C-alpha cells in the first residue's frame, strides 16, 4: 500500500510517501492524517494540518475562589471567551504522576452556540503534576519534541476546514482514553478522542431550547454528530472518518425520534471484550427534555444505537426540580469496588434554566438507573463567585482509599450560558453514599 501523507519539518508542511499503516502512524508525531473510505471501500489517508505558531504556557496556581482551577485565557488566547468540558486522566510513572486535561475552549472569533453547547469551539490540552495546578497554552501546540514535548500545551483540535464534514462549525471534547485495537497497527496503546462536532446547517431551534424571546428560531451548529480522532502522544491528533457521509461515527435519528436534533457529548466505556458503550445525550422534542442514550460497538468504529436509558427526574416532577428538564452531559464510570456503573450527570432545571450535577447508579449500565433525589454539586450561592450561575459537564476521577475528584465546568451569573471556568470538588470519605456512590462533595479551596 502506498498513500500520500503530509508532515512537518523545519520548513513547514511537507509531502512524504508512506508505504504502510505503521509508517503512517509514525508520521503522527510530525503532522495529522485522516482515514477515510472511498467508493471501493479501501482505506486512504489525507492530511489535516494543525495551526502553527508558538505555544506559550502559563502556570495556574491556586485561587481563593472555592473549586476554581482556572478560568478563561487572556485576550487573544484560543480560549479567551470560554473554557469547560474537562476530561482528566492521570498516569503513574516510575517517579511521578502525569496528569492530562483535554478541555473545550473558544475565542471571540468562534461561532456562538452557548445556551445549548456552552463554550464549544476548539479542543486543547493542559498538563499537571498533581491534577490541581495546571499549565495551559496561549495558542496551538508548537510541535515540540524530546524532553520539551511534555510541556507542549495548547489547542490540539480545531473545526474542520473540509466543507462537507460534520465538524466545520465547532468541536467539543467529551472523552479521551488510551485503547488498544487490532484494527490500529501500533506497538502500544493509542489515544482515542471522542468529540461532538457541529456544522453550519441551519436547524430549527425547538421552543423548549429558546431561553428568551430574543433567541433565534434557527441556528447554525445545532446539528452535532459524534467524531473520533487518534493520537500517539495525546497532542497530535488525526481525525478518523466514520461511516456517515459527513465523517461522523453515526448520524442523528430520523425525524420524530428522540435523538433527531443532535448527538451530544459522546463518552465511551469499555464494558468488556467487544463491548464498547457510547453514552450521549440529545433533546427529545416530544418529551421537551434532555435524554441520555447509548450506542454499542465491538471495535469503536462501527456503532449501533440501543435507545434512551435515562432522562433525569421522573415525569410529573415539579419544574423547579434540579433535573426536571432532563440529563445532559455526563460521565459514566464503572466502580472497581462495587462493580456498578455511576453516572455523574448535568441536570437541567426547567424553571430556573440552571444546571447542577446529579448522580444515578445502575448494576449493568443500561437499565434500572437509580437516581439520587438531590444534586451532589450546585452553583455557588455567592453571586460574586465564578460558578454562581451553573455547574455541569462533570468528570469523575477515582483516587486512592475510596476518594473521588469531581472536575466540572462553571459559569457566573454575568456570563449566563457560557462556561467560564473549570473547577474541582473533592469527596468526603466520611460523607454520605448512594448505593455505594459518593454524594458528599466539597469544592476545593486552595
Instruction: Between 301 and 215, name the one with better pLDDT.
Output: 301
At 92, the pLDDT band (50, 70, 90 cuts) reads: confident
Separation CA 185–CA 202 (nearest Å): 39
Phi, psi of 430 (to 5 degrees): -100, 5
Q: What is the mean pLDDT of the chain?
A: 85
pLDDT tens column, 51-67: 333 333 444 434 579 99
CA distances from 425 to 70, 331, 403, 405 (A): 14, 15, 11, 6
By the 8 A CB rule, do 63 and 133 touch?
Answer: no
126, pLDDT greater than 50: yes
Separation CA 26–CA 383 (nearest Å): 50
Of 300, 345, 318, whose CA–CA distance to 437 is shortest? 345
User: Minimum mean pLDDT among 40-54, 63-77, 158-172: which range?
Assistant: 40-54
Question: Whole-angstrom distance between the N-terminal and C-terminal Cα of the chain?
Answer: 55
CA distances from 213 to 32, 155, 235, 251, 415 (A): 43, 35, 41, 30, 18
**HSE on the CB side for 222, CA within 13 Å?**
19
By the 8 A CB rule, do 315 and 238 touch?
Answer: no
DSSP-derived 3-state class of residue 310: strand
99, pLDDT greater than 70: yes
Take residue 38 and report the three cell numbers written for it: 472511498
308, pLDDT greater than 90: yes
pLDDT (0 to 100) of residue 57: 40
By the 8 A CB rule, do 249 and 226 touch?
Answer: yes
Helical segments of 243-373, H only: none
134, pLDDT greater than 80: yes
What does the chain come to in residues?
Answer: 446
DSSP run (H or E) holding 24 = helix 21-26
97, pLDDT greater than 80: yes
Separation CA 412–CA 420 (nearest Å): 7
pLDDT tens column, 366-416: 999 999 999 999 999 999 999 999 999 999 999 988 899 999 999 998 766
Separation CA 294–CA 230 (nearest Å): 22
pLDDT (0 to 100) of residue 33: 35
pLDDT (0 to 100) of residue 186: 52
DSSP run (H or E) holding 422 = strand 421-427
Instruction: Please give the average per-residue pLDDT across 106-133, as a whole number.
Output: 94
By the 8 A CB rule, do 173 and 102 touch?
Answer: yes
DSSP 368: -
Neighbours of 147 (CB within 10 A): 7
CA distances from 155 to 57, 102, 379, 425 (A): 11, 9, 28, 25
pLDDT tens column, 31-54: 333 333 333 333 333 323 333 333
pLDDT (0 to 100) of residue 115: 84
User: Minimum mean pLDDT among 52-56, 199-203, 309-313, 362-366: which range?
Assistant: 52-56
User: Minimum mean pLDDT among 24-33, 84-93, 283-292, 298-307: which range?
Assistant: 24-33
Of 158, 180, 179, whose CA–CA distance to 170 is shortest? 158
354, pLDDT greater than 70: yes
- Cβ within 8 Å of residue 42, ≥6 positions away: none
At 184, the pLDDT band (50, 70, 90 cuts) reads: low
Instruction: Please give the average per-residue pLDDT across 252-259, as a whole number.
Output: 97
Strand partners, 170: 198
Determine the number of helices (DSSP H) and then strands (DSSP E) in the chain. 1, 31
Could you give the percent of the chain with pLDDT greater than 70? Answer: 83
420, pLDDT greater than 60: yes
Instruction: Please give the average per-residue pLDDT across 195-214, as a whole number.
Output: 88
**HSE on the CB side for 362, CA within 13 Å?**
12
Strand partners, 187: none
What DSSP assignment string belongs to 169-237?
A: SEEEEEEEEEE--TTS--SS-EEEEEEEEE-S-EEEPPGGG--STTS-SEEET--EEEEEEEESSSSS-
CA distances from 251 to 55, 128, 440 (A): 35, 36, 38
Amino acid at each position: 500500500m502506498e498513500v500520500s501523507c503530509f508532515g512537518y519539518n523545519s520548513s513547514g508542511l511537507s509531502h512524504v510517501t508512506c508505504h504502510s499503516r505503521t509508517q503512517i502512524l509514525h508520521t503522527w508525531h510530525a503532522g495529522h492524517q485522516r482515514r477515510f473510505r472511498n467508493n471501493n471501500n479501501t482505506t486512504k489517508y489525507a492530511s489535516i494540518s494543525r495551526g502553527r505558531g508558538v505555544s506559550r504556557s502559563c502556570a495556574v496556581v491556586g485561587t481563593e475562589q472555592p473549586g476554581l482551577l482556572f478560568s478563561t485565557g487572556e485576550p487573544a488566547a484560543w480560549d479567551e471567551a470560554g473554557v469547560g468540558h474537562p476530561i482528566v486522566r492521570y498516569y503513574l510513572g516510575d517517579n511521578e504522576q502525569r496528569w492530562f486535561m483535554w478541555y473545550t475552549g473558544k475565542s471571540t472569533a468562534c461561532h456562538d452556540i452557548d445556551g445549548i453547547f456552552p463554550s464549544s469551539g476548539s479542543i486543547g490540552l493542559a498538563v499537571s503534576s498533581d491534577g490541581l495546578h495546571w499549565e495551559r497554552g496561549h495558542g496551538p501546540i508548537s510541535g515540540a519534541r524530546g524532553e520539551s514535548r511534555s510541556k507542549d500545551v495548547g489547542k490540539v483540535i480545531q473545526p474542520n476546514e473540509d466543507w462537507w464534514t460534520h465538524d466545520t462549525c465547532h468541536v467539543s471534547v467529551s472523552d479521551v482514553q488510551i485503547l488498544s485495537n487490532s484494527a490500529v497497527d501500533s506497538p502500544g496503546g493509542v489515544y482515542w478522542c471522542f468529540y461532538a462536532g457541529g456544522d453550519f446547517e441551519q436547524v430549527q431551534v425547538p421552543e423548549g431550547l429558546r431561553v428568551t424571546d430574543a433567541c433565534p428560531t434557527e441556528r447554525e451548529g445545532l446539528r452535532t454528530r459524534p467524531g473520533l480522532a487518534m493520537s500517539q502522544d495525546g497532542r497530535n491528533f488525526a481525525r478518523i472518518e466514520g461511516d456517515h457521509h459527513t465523517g461522523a461515527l453515526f448520524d442523528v435519528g430520523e425525524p420524530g425520534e428522540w435523538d433527531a436534533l443532535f448527538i451530544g457529548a459522546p463518552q465511551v466505556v469499555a464494558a468488556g471484550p467487544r463491548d464498547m458503550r457510547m453514552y450521549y445525550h440529545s433533546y427529545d422534542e416530544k418529551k421537551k427534555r434532555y435524554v441520555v442514550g447509548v450506542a454499542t460497538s465491538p471495535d469503536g468504529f462501527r456503532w449501533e444505537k440501543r435507545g434512551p436509558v435515562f432522562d433525569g427526574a421522573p415525569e410529573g416532577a415539579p419544574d423547579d426540580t434540579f433535573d426536571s428538564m432532563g440529563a445532559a452531559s455526563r460521565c459514566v464510570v464503572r466502580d472497581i469496588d462495587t462493580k456498578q456503573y455511576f453516572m455523574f450527570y448535568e441536570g437541567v432545571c426547567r424553571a430556573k434554566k440552571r444546571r447542577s450535577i446529579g448522580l444515578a447508579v445502575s448494576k449493568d449500565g443500561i437499565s434500572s438507573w437509580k437516581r439520587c433525589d438531590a444534586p451532589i454539586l450546585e452553583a455557588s450561592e455567592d453571586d460574586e463567585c465564578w460558578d454562581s450561575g451553573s455547574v455541569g459537564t462533570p468528570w469523575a476521577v477515582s483516587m486512592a482509599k475510596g476518594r473521588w475528584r469531581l472536575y466540572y465546568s462553571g459559569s457566573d451569573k454575568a456570563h449566563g450560558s457560557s462556561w467560564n471556568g473549570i473547577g474541582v470538588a473533592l469527596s468526603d470519605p466520611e460523607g454520605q453514599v448512594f448505593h455505594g456512590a459518593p454524594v458528599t462533595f466539597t469544592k476545593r479551596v486552595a
